Chain A
């Protein structure tokens, strides 16, 4: 370890397991374990994987001014952000959006969760606890809200894959009660033993946790928040309980390919220092029903409403597994007339999918053709200055090669993230 990188409580465990370590967001994190990134990716699609995501940060907002501050700074309209019926934010619900500056650019993306009547937490990316706390403190005004950056005070472990519920079933006190009424993007519990909510979710050893039906893989599973000192114990409990399901520790490489396949952006790569609009994630902005305007005021709104030269972000899928190398130069996007129209933001090998006829299937597609073995497809995101539609084909070019890519609405089909808990408990 060097270069002043921070580590999580699981650093020694990762190294002892022979993980390849790499710098990410100021932390030294596992890129993959000896099983390798392909096996790790496929384990999440077919069984279950666990990820140390303790490098991520949590910021707490407590007090009666929390709601108004988040309404001002977060892109979701908390009065109407839950579900298809546009219900208001309420206790136990999560909402995904972004914090923007006044130029409409992304400072960071976040899942905001309401823990109690005047208590919210924002889960942000590695190293972003400080900048987000500072940004919101600057906009607090006279609001009665205390902002606490919990960077490095919490551990976070993600259990992702169809077997995740069966593992947690073995590890929770009164698991049936915990799982009752727990759809996608809801959570229960508290990591703080002093909180009145701490009793809602406890591990069998008594440790209080937040169990959240969220993640970054597109597959069924949980994110678990726990006091930092309990992280290694939690990790080992999951591995032990998950042995019978083939639980695979997964590193950042698999996390990156899984999230790209799930058409989820990486902050500061697919969303960043450009206006946060015209992208595959319009649900993160507070649009009205006919998408003609916004239902609330928020920081960045003015900039988004007065763009002079808009750019468009799209998801793409290639025709085989070959990639353009985003990390060694700046691959460009060419239209059919060979005119350069933009840049490639992300490009990964999604090893769980393949083309068959005119369709893309996943290794876990229920209707996949007999004998289908995914050979992998390149996929990712591009940012271009012209509007494109699904099915249009562009060329991506780096110093080495040119690949064809199809613009798509969605990448990996048949994801399990919204699967009902009952179904997953039986899987």
Chain B
């Protein structure tokens, strides 16, 4: 498992409690799983994505990521309409492990309320929250 200093948590992304990242690109928000989530899951073998045109509120599940050992839901970091999904993940789910912020992106959202982005963790605050979580798990 990666230590806190080995985690790649890029500037420019915001982070949700369950370790989805969200990045504002023009007027859309691109979403994926962060480095901590992919490192915890290991060996992602299947990704279930929503349909383009689906709408979800912030905090609602939009997809499922399945590793060899676990099945986890992915939640909307901000509410809105799904305007694109990364179909490359259907054949190559391991891209979420290999390139979580780039080729392993999951969905693009047209957000209903952009201010929801401000409620998410910053790079610094997610790092702090993750460190706390790691320490709790070590106890």
Chain A residues engaging chain B, CB cutoff 8 angstroms:
2, 18, 20, 31-32, 36-39, 41, 253, 257, 320-325, 348-349, 351, 376, 400-401
Contacts of B48 in A (CB 8 A): 322
Contacts of A37 in B (CB 8 A): 42-43, 67-69
Contacts of A253 in B (CB 8 A): 68-69
Indicate the member of B43, B66, B70, B73 with the most A CB atoms within 10 Å: B43
Question: Are B71 and A325 in contact (CB-based, < 8 A)?
Answer: yes
Q: How far apart sit A43 and B88, CA to CA, in the bound complex (Å)?
A: 26
Contacts of B97 in A (CB 8 A): 36
Contacts of A39 in B (CB 8 A): 43
B56 → chain A closest CB, angstroms: 16
Given contacts A2-B139, A20-B1, A400-B64, contact A351 B70 (CB under 8 A): no
Question: Are A38 and B1 in contact (CB-based, < 8 A)?
Answer: no
Question: Are B66 and A349 in contact (CB-based, < 8 A)?
Answer: yes
Contacts of A376 in B (CB 8 A): 45
Question: Are A38 and B68 in contact (CB-based, < 8 A)?
Answer: yes
Contacts of B68 in A (CB 8 A): 36-38, 41, 253, 257, 348-349, 351
Q: Besides the contacts A253-B68, A321-B66, A401-B64, what 18 more A-B pairs have beta carbons closer than 8 Å? A: A2-B139, A18-B1, A36-B97, A37-B67, A37-B68, A38-B43, A38-B68, A253-B69, A321-B45, A322-B46, A322-B48, A322-B66, A325-B71, A349-B66, A349-B68, A351-B43, A351-B68, A400-B64
Can you pick out 30 interface pairs between chain A and chain B where the beta carbons lie within 8 Å of each other? A20-B1, A20-B42, A31-B69, A36-B42, A36-B43, A36-B68, A36-B97, A37-B67, A37-B68, A37-B69, A38-B43, A38-B45, A38-B68, A39-B43, A253-B68, A253-B69, A320-B46, A321-B66, A322-B46, A322-B71, A323-B71, A324-B71, A325-B71, A349-B66, A349-B67, A351-B45, A351-B68, A376-B45, A400-B64, A400-B71
Chain B residues engaging chain A, CB cutoff 8 angstroms:
1, 42-43, 45-46, 48, 64, 66-71, 73, 97, 138-139
Q: How far apart sit A320 and B66, CA to CA, in the bound complex (Å)?
A: 12
Contacts of B42 in A (CB 8 A): 20, 32, 36-38
Question: Are A349 and B139 in contact (CB-based, < 8 A)?
Answer: no
A329 → chain B closest CB, angstroms: 11
A347 → chain B closest CB, angstroms: 10
Indicate the member of A20, A38, A325, A401 with the most B CB atoms within 10 Å: A38
B37 → chain A closest CB, angstroms: 14
Q: Interface residues of A: mostly helix, strand, loop or mixed?
A: loop
Q: How far apart sit A400 and B1, CA to CA, in the bound complex (Å)?
A: 27
Contacts of A323 in B (CB 8 A): 66, 71
Contacts of B66 in A (CB 8 A): 321-323, 349
B46 → chain A closest CB, angstroms: 5
B19 → chain A closest CB, angstroms: 16
In the A-B complex, the 5 residue pairs with the smallest Cβ-Cβ separation, listed nearest first, are A38-B43, A37-B68, A36-B43, A36-B42, A349-B68
B39 → chain A closest CB, angstroms: 9
A344 → chain B closest CB, angstroms: 13
Given contacts A257-B68, A349-B68, contact A400 B73 (CB under 8 A): yes
Contacts of A2 in B (CB 8 A): 138-139
A319 → chain B closest CB, angstroms: 12
Closest to B2 in A: A18
Closest to A256 in B: B69
Contacts of B70 in A (CB 8 A): 325
B8 → chain A closest CB, angstroms: 15
Closest to B44 in A: A38
B64 → chain A closest CB, angstroms: 7
Q: How far apart sit A257 and B139, CA to CA, in the bound complex (Å)?
A: 28
Q: How far apart sit A327 and B106, CA to CA, in the bound complex (Å)?
A: 26
Q: How far apart sit A400 and B64, CA to CA, in the bound complex (Å)?
A: 9
Contacts of A20 in B (CB 8 A): 1, 42
Q: How far apart sit A324 and B46, CA to CA, in the bound complex (Å)?
A: 13
Q: How far apart sit A31 and B43, CA to CA, in the bound complex (Å)?
A: 13
Q: How far apart sit A329 and B42, CA to CA, in the bound complex (Å)?
A: 22
A364 → chain B closest CB, angstroms: 18
Contacts of A351 in B (CB 8 A): 43, 45, 68
